[in-house]
Amino acid sequence: MTPSTDAVEAGMQRALELAARGPATGVNPQVGCVLLRPDGSIAAEGWHRGAGTPHAEVDALSRLGPADARGLTAVVTLEPCDHTGLTGPCSEALLAAGVSAVAYAVADPGEASSGGAERLRAGGVEVVGGVLVEEATEFLRRWLTAARLGRPFVTLKWASSLDGRAAAADGSSRWITGPAARRHVHEQRARHDVVLVGTGTVLADDPSLTARGDDDALLPEQPLPVVVGERPVPRGAALRRHPRGLVETGSRDLVAVLADLARRGVRSVFVEGGPTVASAAVRLGLVDDYLVYLAPTLLGGPRTALDDLGVATIGDQRRLLVTSTTVLDGDLVVVARDQHRRTS
């Protein structure tokens, strides 16, 4: 006897809540697992706490006695892995524990890690995929995008006036937005593996690119700063004092830079460069999320947030889908994505 469909879906909702407790950055996905009894009640639950720690399924199983998992249903946000990395295969752990059924939301897209569902079925376990798949796909969007495209998930951020200017005519830009919007930027930096800028921004603004809290203290999670461009970062630049160090790419090839970052295990990049880097990312189709801070002010002049995008006629415009809007002390925060891009 297995739990009802309603109980499995409720278990998946709980598994997603648990998954959110795991680290938002790093090479591994956020995964949650709930072990259900036949009547739908929860016997144990777990989540993945980062690279090298037990996966969600093993974490949940560890909270039971040696034979207590027999006959239970494992509800997991991502298909159980079937490979040995820093930890062993979750498919084998579930088989050894004697679970009778496994329900998962999203299939694992990895060539090395996928195949857990097939291994479990071959071992006599009832397996159902696609439970709350839309919710789980959205939750795992960053990691899935990186896994499927072979490059990090890219968030492009800029702050501008309502008329689209990122600076006044003399180049001054501090501050277009208010403190609340700037705090939000720091929170977003902390939720990405890398913060990326061009050498033009480094030379013009000398940014520190750290993630800081209300008291200006460093947040626990810090992105790795990466500079795109051929000019060296000056010796006395603030970036050279960043707690994570500094990566100078020596290249303006964004595609190659992102590919190299992917090989280093980077799964998310926060692009804060000026119009040159930002526009290149848009032109090349590398942007997954747009994070735009609009201040209720007008500047006029030539200092636009973006420059040439290769849009010669209105038919070539890059239409976006706005997914959220938030007002922070008068500044409007807009999150958008390409209308036609899919994670799956």
Residue 274's pLDDT is what?
Answer: 86
Distance CA 157, CA 223 (A): 15
pTM of the model: 0.89
pLDDT given at position 112: 64
The CA distance from 300 to 294, in Å, is 14
Q: Which fold has domain 151-338?
A: Dihydrofolate Reductase, subunit A (3.40.430)
3-state secondary structure of 132: coil
pLDDT of residue 341: 59
- Checking if the pLDDT of 177 tops 50, the result is yes
Q: What pLDDT score does 4 carry?
A: 93
Give me the mean pLDDT over the 249-257 stretch: 95
Look up residue 109 and give its two tokens.
């897209």
Bond prior to 175 in cis (omega within 30° of 0):
yes
C-alpha distances (whole Å) from 267 to each of 94, 122, 232, 262 are: 28, 32, 25, 6
Span 278-287, average pLDDT = 94
- Residue 221 bears catalytic tag: no
- Strands 101-106 and 153-161, bridge-based pairing: unpaired
Task: Provide the pLDDT confidence category of residue 87 given band limits of 50, 70 and 90.
Answer: confident
Average pLDDT (129-154) is 95
Query: With bands split at pLDDT 50, 70 and 90, how would you rate the model's confidence at 88?
Result: confident
Q: Taking residues 199-213, report their average pLDDT.
A: 91
With cut-offs at 50, 70 and 90, classify the pLDDT of residue 62: very high
For 5-139, CATH number? 3.40.140.10
Catalytic residue (one of 57, 79, 126, 134): 57
| pLDDT tier, 150 (very low <50, low <70, confident <90, very high otherwise) | very high
CA–CA distance, 249 with 228 (Å, rounded to integer): 6
* Percentage of residues in the chain having pLDDT higher than 70: 97
Identify the H or E element spanning 46: strand 42-47
Q: Is residue 167 pLDDT above 90, yes or no?
A: no
Distance CA 165, CA 176 (A): 9
Q: Token pair of 212, please?
A: 């800081």
CA distance 211 to 208: 9
Res 172: pLDDT: 78
For position 1, what pLDDT does the model report?
67
Q: What residues does each domain of the chain span?
A: 5-139, 151-338
Tell me which H or E stretch contains 138: helix 133-139
Tens of pLDDT along 10-43? 999 999 999 999 998 888 899 999 999 999 999 9
CA 272 vs CA 18, 179, 228: distances in Å = 31, 17, 11
Q: What is the mean pLDDT of the chain?
A: 92
pLDDT tens for residues 309-344?
888 899 888 899 999 999 999 999 999 998 765 554
pLDDT over 60 at 174, yes or no? yes
Q: Residue 262: which pLDDT band, with cuts at 50, 70 and 90?
A: very high
